[in-house]
């Protein structure tokens, strides 16, 4: 925050100061070429220009000490366990509502709640098999959870490719710094998914990745993960229900699937049970799932847990299901569906960040301090018209990390998305995650769709 060098960076800083800046500039250009050759791109929706872009990468790693990571890991595991317990409760006895800790309208009026999941217990009792928890640092020892990603968290392919790129360009750094590895994530992902297979699956469960197709913004990641796990990448038209099982088309006919890592939203998953016009899903898959014939990761209906209005109750949710105070703090949040909160937000709009409760990717949000009077007035009308669609938060005083620019190092705001795997065998947190960085000076928006970039994230060993 004050520009001082954090202890975790001391060894790296010694290396950096001994390097020729012109060599580093060449390495930065080389990284961009590697990303282009590998085809690491993402799609941008709603823009007139070309939809496929190269994600910017910065060669200065974000470094986290072993002590910091140990504390973060404890908080992340506590939160993820609470989210899974909450999802089971919400689709069964709803004890948290009976206890008065969560208003019933938070569920009853929530579009992310799926009545079709009431009474359904997924194999192994796991709802969120893959979770991404977005964190921001506001002080030397202070982290806040910005949001929970419990539906289909993306970005893990960038975490892996960022590390691969750094290992290729600066192998000497990894011999000088004791950096914990992330490369075994695909193997851990497959093992974790297989452990969640239905009991009928046998010793070698068949796993597949379901993608909406090449026009999806995260298609690169879908194909990357399927390839790294050694499993099939399928689309809805490759699948059908055969003899009460979901099966995929192969050269040897239709073969049953035990675990489907789906990257298709709930609404499009099954045209017989959700949107009838969907061509992305599999007719009847929810019926097979409800009968225990397949594991869907993440489970349908998990979106209720990363709804931004539910997020505001996470301290209560963590305490209710774990019996402990939340180790990771929430950002203070105003729920605009509450009249007093709405009045406060409208009066202080120019100082707040306002988000859609189901929004993602940085779309549909307002950053008050950087908005024009016209933008503020337009958003004011949206809030008054549909207040239950929004929450508001203060503009945090985020810490910064250095990025490499033409004129040397410069501070930029970042967040961190650690990736968590959940199975009946336990919770596995990859040491590091995806660091997203706001490349524009002073910007607080780190999303790649809004001009942000990424960094390799190092967690040091003890």
- CATH code of the domain containing 350: 3.30.1490.270
Please indicate, yes or no, if residue 410 is contained in any of the structural domains.
no
Spatial distance between the Cα atoms of 387 and 406, rounded to a whole number of angstroms: 44
Element (H, E) at 459: strand 453-459
pLDDT tens for 49-101 read 445 567 789 999 999 999 999 999 999 999 999 999 999 999 999 999 999 99
Are residues 100 and 163 both part of a single domain?
yes
Are residues 364 and 389 both part of a single domain?
yes
Quote the pTM value: 0.91
Are residues 241 and 342 both part of a single domain?
no
Final residue before a domain boundary, out of 395, 430, 449: 395
pLDDT tens for 17-35 read 999 999 999 999 998 888 8
Please indicate, yes or no, if residue 163 is contained in any of the structural domains.
yes
Determine contact, residues 325/319, Cβ cutoff 8 Å. yes
Spatial distance between the Cα atoms of 313 and 332, rounded to a whole number of angstroms: 10
Final residue before a domain boundary, out of 380, 395, 410: 395
Are residues 313 and 352 both part of a single domain?
no
DSSP for 65-128, written as a single string: -HHHHHHHHHHHHHHHHHHHHHHHHHTTT-HHHHTTSS-THHHHT-TT--GGGTT---GGG-S-
* Domain hosting residue 371, numbered range: 332-395
pLDDT tens for 331-342 read 999 999 899 999
Please indicate, yes or no, if residue 168 is contained in any of the structural domains.
yes
Please indicate, yes or no, if residue 295 is contained in any of the structural domains.
yes
Are residues 140 and 280 both part of a single domain?
yes
CB atoms within 10 A of CB 412: 24
Please indicate, yes or no, if residue 218 is contained in any of the structural domains.
yes
Are residues 343 and 292 both part of a single domain?
no
**Token pair in block for residue 68:** 């910091």
Please indicate, yes or no, if residue 228 is contained in any of the structural domains.
yes
Picking from 191, 69, 203, 85, the residue whose alpha carbon sits closest to that of residue 137 is: 69
Number of domains in the chain: 2
SS3 304: helix
Spatial distance between the Cα atoms of 188 and 228, rounded to a whole number of angstroms: 11
Are residues 300 and 425 both part of a single domain?
yes
Are residues 41 and 183 both part of a single domain?
yes
Tens digit of each residue's pLDDT, the chain (462 residues): 456 788 889 999 999 999 999 999 999 999 888 887 776 655 544 444 445 567 789 999 999 999 999 999 999 999 999 999 999 999 999 999 999 999 999 998 888 999 999 999 999 999 999 999 999 998 878 899 999 999 989 999 999 999 999 999 999 999 889 999 999 999 999 999 999 999 989 889 999 999 999 988 889 899 999 999 999 999 999 999 999 999 999 999 999 999 999 999 999 999 999 999 999 999 999 999 999 999 999 999 999 998 888 999 999 999 999 999 999 999 999 999 899 999 999 999 999 999 988 766 556 788 888 889 999 999 999 999 999 889 999 988 778 889 998 888 888 889 999 999 999 999 999 999 999 998 888 777 777 666 688 999 999 998
Are residues 320 and 273 both part of a single domain?
yes
Are residues 58 and 202 both part of a single domain?
yes
Are residues 352 and 325 both part of a single domain?
no
Are residues 325 and 337 both part of a single domain?
no
Please indicate, yes or no, if residue 310 is contained in any of the structural domains.
yes
Please indicate, yes or no, if residue 23 is contained in any of the structural domains.
yes
């Amino acid at each position: 925050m004050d520009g001082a060098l954090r202890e975790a960076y001391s060894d790296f800083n010694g290396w950096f100061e001994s390097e020729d800046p012109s060599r580093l500039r060449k390495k930065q250009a080389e990284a961009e070429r590697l990303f282009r050759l590998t085809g690491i791109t993402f799609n941008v929706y709603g823009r007139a220009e070309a939809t496929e872009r190269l994600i910017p990468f910065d060669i200065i790693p974000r470094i986290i000490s072993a002590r910091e990571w140990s504390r973060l890991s404890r908080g992340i595991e506590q939160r993820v366990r609470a989210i899974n317990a909450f999802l089971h409760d919400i689709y069964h006895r709803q004890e948290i509502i009976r206890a008065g800790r969560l208003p019933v309208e938070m569920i009853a009026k929530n579009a992310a709640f799926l009545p079709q999941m009431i009474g359904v217990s997924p194999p192994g009792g796991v709802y969120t098999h893959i979770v991404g928890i977005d964190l921001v640092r506001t002080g030397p020892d202070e982290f806040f959870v910005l949001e929970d990603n419990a539906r289909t968290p993306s970005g893990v392919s960038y975490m892996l490719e960022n590390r691969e790129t750094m290992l290729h360009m600066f192998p000497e750094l990894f011999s000088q710094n004791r950096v914990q590895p992330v490369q075994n994530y695909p193997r851990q992902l497959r093992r974790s998914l297989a452990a969640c297979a239905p009991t009928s699956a046998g010793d070698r469960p068949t796993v597949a990745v379901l993608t909406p197709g090449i026009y999806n913004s995260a298609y690169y990641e879908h194909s990357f993960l399927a390839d790294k796990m050694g499993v099939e990448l399928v689309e809805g038209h490759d699948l059908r229900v055969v003899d009460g099982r979901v099966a995929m088309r192969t050269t040897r006919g239709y073969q049953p699937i035990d675990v489907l890592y789906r990257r298709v939203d709930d609404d499009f998953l099954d045209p017989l049970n959700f949107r009838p016009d969907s061509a992305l899903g599999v007719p009847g898959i929810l019926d097979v799932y409800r009968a225990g014939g397949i594991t869907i990761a993440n489970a349908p209906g998990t979106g209720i847990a990363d709804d931004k209005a539910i997020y505001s109750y996470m301290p209560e949710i963590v305490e209710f299901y774990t019996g402990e105070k939340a180790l990771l703090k929430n950002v203070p949040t105003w729920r605009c569906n509450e009249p007093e909160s709405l009045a406060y937000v409208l009066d202080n709009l120019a100082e707040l960040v306002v988000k859609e409760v189901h929004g993602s990717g940085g779309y549909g949000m307002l950053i008050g301090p950087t908005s024009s009077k016209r933008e503020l007035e337009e958003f004011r009308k949206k809030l008054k018209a549909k207040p239950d669609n929004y929450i508001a938060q203060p503009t945090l005083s985020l810490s910064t990390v250095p990025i490499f620019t033409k004129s040397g190092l410069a501070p930029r705001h970042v967040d961190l998305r650690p990736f968590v795997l959940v199975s009946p065998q336990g919770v596995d947190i990859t040491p590091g995650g995806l660091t997203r960085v706001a490349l524009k000076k002073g910007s607080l928006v780190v999303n790649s769709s809004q001009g942000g970039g990424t960094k390799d994230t190092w967690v040091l060993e003890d």
